[in-house]
Amino acid sequence: MASERELLMHLENLSVNYRTRRGWVSAVDDVTMDIYKGEVLGLVGESGSGKSTLGKALMRLNPRSARVTGKLMFLGEDLMTYSNAQMRRIRGDRISMVFQDPMTSLNPIQRIVNHITETIRTHQPQTPESEAVNRAKELVDVLGISDNRLDDYPHQLSGGMRQRIMIALGLALNADLIIADEATTSLDVIVEAQFMALLKDLCREFNLTILLITHNIGLVAQLADRVAVMYAGRLAEVGPVETIFKDPQHPYTRGLLGAVPTILLDDHEELYRMEGSPPDLIAPPPGCRFHPRCKHAMDVCKIETPVFKPIENGNATSCWLYDDIPAEFTGELLVSAQEVVGT
């Protein structure tokens, strides 16, 4: 997959800080990452690690209290330079978001068919109503919903069906990127699995790209092509799903996956347990934000921020275990100084 991957989005030094009464919350810090066309990219990390903030930043949907900096290259253009009007078009046409509870995104007094046809006609006003209705029928069909449900109101559908309608709305626009933020949390396990399998098929069929934000590591293992692991607003590790599960390198990734009782970790001789909880992002720890919880922490980790970079197994990680430690932390300078003075 590596060579023919087509870049959809490139985030560069993306940071999001929220202004609060207690001070600035560093919710996303210096994230640089690629998203490729047609992939399912899983985004995981403990609660409060910045996943939703990052997902919203991709659509520039963060609240006014947020200061967002960095680059958001989408098909070669920096969305950070777009006006609100231009962003509204992007949100409608190119990137869509599926939230946890579709009821809040669907109009309760509007039939399903109208949701879809209006979506189509808002973005392609020249489409005749009859054609829009036909397209709505095709879309629900693709999503495994009988077209006689098109006349239903949102509350008449099950949670799983409503999720599918949200996807149908995304497909109606031919969105390039769908951001699913805990989209399946309200569904039962079987419906969730069916829904996610459907998403995966759609991805293949329509060359859709999905950013799958979830606490459900099992779901990520099943569906994602690549996985990004966040800790306290920063990327800890990114890599192909196989490598992330079978050969995780960052101590946090190991800790997070250590909580997964699964055969996926078959080659893993040691399951890591993490002590403690994530830091307060108003005053995150200096250096590596994970250092207070890391059993490998060294002096350098407490002062210098590790750079996020590719490592040997094909993943990318931010950890001093995989980088050259500056001389002042290794004692080498001291040794050579002592040699110079002959002591």
State the residues that interact with ligand ATP by CB under 6 A.
18, 20, 25, 27, 45, 47-53, 63, 65, 281
Residue with Cβ nearer ligand SF4 (120 or 288): 288
CB of 289 to ligand SF4, least distance (A): 8
Give the one residue of 296, 303, 311, 313 binding ligand SF4; rule: CB under 6 A: 296
Residue 281 touches which of Mg ion, ligand ATP, ligand SF4, none (Cβ within 5-8 Å per kind): ligand ATP
> Which of helix, strand or coil describes residue 301?
helix
Spell out the alpha helix ranges (H) of the chain: 51-58, 84-93, 112-123, 129-142, 159-172, 189-206, 217-223, 241-246, 251-258, 327-330, 332-341
Residue with Cβ nearer ligand SF4 (222 or 313): 313
Residue with Cβ nearer ligand SF4 (92 or 292): 292
Q: Is 321 in the site for ligand SF4 (CB under 6 A)?
A: yes
Angle (CA) 20 24 30, round 5°? 140
The window from 44-52, 188-196, 249-257, 275-283 that contacts Mg ion (CB under 5 A) reads 44-52
Give the one residue of 15, 52, 96, 214 binding Mg ion; rule: CB under 5 A: 52
First to last CA, the chain: 57
CB of 236 to ligand SF4, least distance (A): 7
Residues whose CB is less than 8 angstroms from the CB of residue 212 and which lie 6 or more positions away in sequence, other chains included: 40, 41, 42, 43, 180, 219, 220, 223, 224
CB of 220 to ligand ATP, least distance (A): 13
Q: Is 251 in the site for ligand SF4 (CB under 6 A)?
A: yes
- Contact predicate 68/60, CB 8 Å: yes
Give the one residue of 18, 74, 195, 290 binding ligand SF4; rule: CB under 6 A: 290
CB of 309 to ligand SF4, least distance (A): 12
Please choose, from the candidates 116, 190, 182, the residue with its C-alpha nearest in 3D space to the C-alpha of residue 149: 116
| CA–CA distance, 262 with 182 (Å, rounded to integer) | 21
CB of 296 to ligand SF4, least distance (A): 4
Residue with Cβ nearer ligand SF4 (93 or 299): 299
| CA–CA distance, 259 with 160 (Å, rounded to integer) | 28
* Tokens encoding 49: 């690690």
* Tokens encoding 96: 């869509």
Number of residues engaging ligand SF4 in binding (CB under 6 A):
14
- Contact predicate 145/15, CB 8 Å: no
Give residues in contact with Mg ion (CB under 5 A): 52
Give residues in contact with ligand SF4 (CB under 6 A): 250-251, 288, 290-291, 294, 296-298, 301, 306, 319-321
